[in-house]
Amino acid sequence: MAGWKIPLSDLQLGDEERDAVDRVVQSGWLTLGNEVAQFEQEFATACGADGAVAVANGTAALHLACLALGVGPGVEVIVPTLTFVASANAVALSGGRPVFADSIGAHDLSLDPSDVERRITPATRGVMCVHYAGYPCRMEALLELCERHGLFLIEDAAHAPGASWDGRALGTIGDAGCFSFFGNKNMSTGEGGMVLARDPEVLDQIRLLRSHGMTTMSWDRYRGHASAYDVVRLGFNYRPSELTAALGRPQLAKLPANNERRNALIERYRAQLDAAGVPARMPFAGEVGSGHLAVLLVDEPADRDPLREALTADGIQTSLHYPPVHLFDHYRSAYGHAPGDLPVAEDLALRIITLPLYPTMTPGQVDAVCESVAAFFRGAA
């Protein structure tokens, strides 16, 4: 990425991806066809799922999962506030109300099951958990409370392809699992998404909804398998393209090795920063996820922005995951939220900083980032 000595993320694209794009161009068929079918099957197999539906992006995956599980007017779904806005938007776009819940704390930034429980009302139909940074949420507690209250569980696994909990792939544990293949994800097709669902009927609804609620696709008609169609439910154009699906196949093949590399780099970060004795910690110690993000939490909120500026001055790109969703203008005015509503996540959001991480990052680059962090705190002391 231009301009940065060490960018926040970088893709690993090579001959396999080039060949995949060539193959599609030569086939003369660019939308929903054989590549999509193959990608869906390979992704489902990799996750140990029976089936998968590829869609245009991760937001579409979440939106369709919500609709297929019955989210609509009068329905509340509990979502974490410390997530990308798409998680909450998917509930709202389905006509439901996203009810925000807090994070656990500095060691685990994900959804706090006890706060979820406190926010259940007679209108609550489900919970959407987000595997923040690719680490499994507290699945045991979430599954237990969803079962006890008769709620569905959607896993927003945008950060978590290839990660697992209790021997099960993340995204296969709840009623539906949604993935994003956006340009900064562990596997990327530029834009793209995937939905897994436990119930084949939910998956069928999602397949229907991704293409206008039509009973047959142009691919079936092209192959002569169908000549007419009906529209049985109001749907969308959330179809993936053959190009993105073809890119996804080699990206999926590379995922295990890339995730292993990401996890090794996170452990290097953790060891170096601990050894440097900086007043900052990486959460999720002792846990293994997909290695999506290298998140650092500074002890003092006042250090966060100056540290980012110091890293920028050293050519090191950083980011913030995430500003709490309930404090965005739209969510404040639509739902009456104000600072203080979700105090744990609000505090964490003032202290987080996301450090560079990508599979081709070298140990030397991790060391350079750690040295830059340590130098900042030496200077600040």
Ligand X SMILES: Cc1ncc(COP(=O)(O)O)c(C=O)c1O
- Catalytic sites, residue numbers: 185
Kindly state the smallest distance separating residue 185's Cβ from ligand X, in Å. Answer: 7
Which of residues 40, 115, 156, 346 is near ligand X by CB under 6 A? 156
Which of residues 82, 158, 243, 252 is near ligand X by CB under 6 A? 158
In this structure, the dihedral spanned by the alpha carbons of residues 213, 214, 215 and 221, taken in order and rounded to 10 degrees, is -150
Amino acid at 137: C
Which of residues 58, 113, 162, 356 is near ligand X by CB under 6 A? 58
Does 196 interact with ligand X (rule: CB under 6 A)?
A: no
Could you give the CA distance from residue 354 to residue 147 in angstroms, rounded to a whole number? Answer: 34
Kindly state the smallest distance separating residue 156's Cβ from ligand X, in Å. Answer: 5
Which structure tokens are listed for 322? Answer: 């995430």
Stretch that binds ligand X, among 8-16, 80-88, 99-107, 213-221 (CB under 6 A): 80-88
Could you give the CA distance from residue 116 to residue 79 in angstroms, rounded to a whole number? Answer: 8
Amino acid at 51: G
Identify the CA nearest to 341 among candidates 333, 352, 332, 353.
Answer: 332
Identify the CA nearest to 270 among candidates 369, 344, 133.
Answer: 369
**Count of residues touching ligand X (by CB under 6 A):** 14
Does 134 interact with ligand X (rule: CB under 6 A)?
A: no
CA-to-CA separations, 250 to 37, 42, 127, 258, 290, in angstroms, rounded: 15, 10, 32, 12, 17
CA-to-CA separations, 373 to 5, 171, 312, 359, in angstroms, rounded: 15, 34, 11, 21
Kindly state the smallest distance separating residue 191's Cβ from ligand X, in Å. Answer: 6
Does 71 interact with ligand X (rule: CB under 6 A)?
A: no
Stretch that binds ligand X, among 29-37, 45-53, 156-164, 282-290 (CB under 6 A): 156-164
Does 193 interact with ligand X (rule: CB under 6 A)?
A: yes
Stretch that binds ligand X, among 8-16, 151-159, 207-215, 365-373 (CB under 6 A): 151-159
Stretch that binds ligand X, among 25-33, 83-91, 310-318, 336-344 (CB under 6 A): 83-91
Q: Return left, alpha or beta for 272; rule: phi > 0 is left, psi -120 to 50 is alpha, else beta.
A: alpha
Does 87 interact with ligand X (rule: CB under 6 A)?
A: yes
Which of residues 180, 189, 205, 258 is near ligand X by CB under 6 A? 180
Kindly state the smallest distance separating residue 130's Cβ from ligand X, in Å. Answer: 5
Does 182 interact with ligand X (rule: CB under 6 A)?
A: yes
Does 195 interact with ligand X (rule: CB under 6 A)?
A: no
**Whose structure tokens read 């092209």?**
222
In this structure, the dihedral spanned by the alpha carbons of residues 49, 54, 55 and 58, taken in order and rounded to 10 degrees, is 50
Contact between 269 and 370 under an 8 Å Cβ cutoff? The reply is: yes
Q: Reduced to 3 states, what is the DSSP secondary structure of residue 27?
A: helix
> Whose Cβ is closer to ligand X: residue 160's or residue 310's?
160
Which of residues 35, 43, 59, 282 is near ligand X by CB under 6 A? 59
> Whose Cβ is closer to ligand X: residue 248's or residue 310's?
248
DSSP class of residue 231? Answer: B
> Whose Cβ is closer to ligand X: residue 178's or residue 273's?
178
Q: What share of the chain is helix, strand, coil (3-state, %, to 5)?
A: 45, 20, 40
Contact string (CB under 6 A) for ligand X, positions 91-130, x = contact:
---------------------------------------x
Q: Reduced to 3 states, what is the DSSP secondary structure of residue 323?
A: coil
Residue least distant from ligand X (Cβ)? 58
Rounded to 5°, angle at Cα 155 from 153 and 161: 155
Site residues (vs ligand X, CB under 6 A): 57-59, 83-84, 86-87, 130, 156, 158-159, 180, 182, 193
